[in-house]
Amino acid sequence: MKKILILTLILGVSFQFTSCKDEKKKEIEVEKEVKVYPFSLKTAKNSIDWVAYKTTDKLPVKGKFKKVTITKNGEGNTAKEAINGAEFSIPVSSLFTADSSRDFKLKKFFFGVMDNTKLLSGTLNISDEANGTASITMNGVTADLPFTYALEGKEFQLTATMSLDNWSAQKAVESLNVACKELHKAKDGISKTWNEVAINITTVFQ
């Protein structure tokens, strides 16, 4: 009789212990549940295109960055919520112009002479229905880049003109111009690399 009583107590304690473990496991699983937002930059298709300029005729040189990482925020119930406050980083190594020689020169003689610029990083901030600013860190300098944008359905388009002087990039511009001296000459014989870059970003949410 005593053995049966002891066995019953042991089984009862074991059952309670197992129930507690199951309850705690369920609590942990609930805590791990993450809210899924209908708009996310992490799953969107992001295209980052830019246009630089050379020669006194201001000939365009087109390129893009093939990779961008959303490091914080970037989600919301609307496209604007997802974009506003999103933090990102862009590796310079993802630069692409369809000309391997040009890519090499841009990475080495432009970004390569900047301070701590393996990555371009920043935060997007929406001001109103058509304008915003991107706080961008490059060459050890953080400065605001004003932009305009259009939003139609699930497609967001951003345009801006970056003055490289705002990021103290004169040395980098001069370095690139020396490396590309002959290629950046017009008929007037003057070699010039412009200190402005047009930025065009397109995001299509899934």
pLDDT value at position 36? 85
Percent of all residues in the chain with a pLDDT value above 70, rounded to a whole number: 83
Residues 62-89: pLDDT tens digits?
Answer: 999 999 999 999 999 999 999 999 999 9
pLDDT value at position 43? 96
Confidence of residue 121 (pLDDT cuts 50, 70, 90): very high
- Which CATH number is correct for 39-204, 3.90.320.10, 2.40.128.110, 3.40.50.300, 3.50.50.60? 2.40.128.110
Could you tell me the two tokens for 42?
A: 């992490």
Query: What does each C-alpha distance from 42 to 46, 50, 103 come to in angstroms?
Result: 9, 21, 26
Query: What does each C-alpha distance from 102 to 40, 61, 96, 161, 188 come to in angstroms?
Result: 33, 10, 9, 21, 23
Regarding predicted confidence, which is higher, 60 or 11? 60
Strands 95-96 and 119-126: unpaired
Do residues 154 and 203 make contact, with C-beta atoms less than 8 angstroms apart? no
CA angle 164, 170, 173 (to 5 degrees): 85
User: Identity (one letter) of the amino acid at 183?
Assistant: L
Could you tell me the two tokens for 180?
A: 């590309």
Query: What does each C-alpha distance from 117 to 101, 114, 182 come to in angstroms?
Result: 20, 6, 26
pTM, to two decimals: 0.82
Per-residue pLDDT for 15 more than 90?
A: no
Domain borders along the chain are: 1-33, 39-204
CB atoms under 10 Å from CB of 191, counted, come to: 17
Compute the mean pLDDT over every residue in the chain, rounded to the nearest whole number.
90
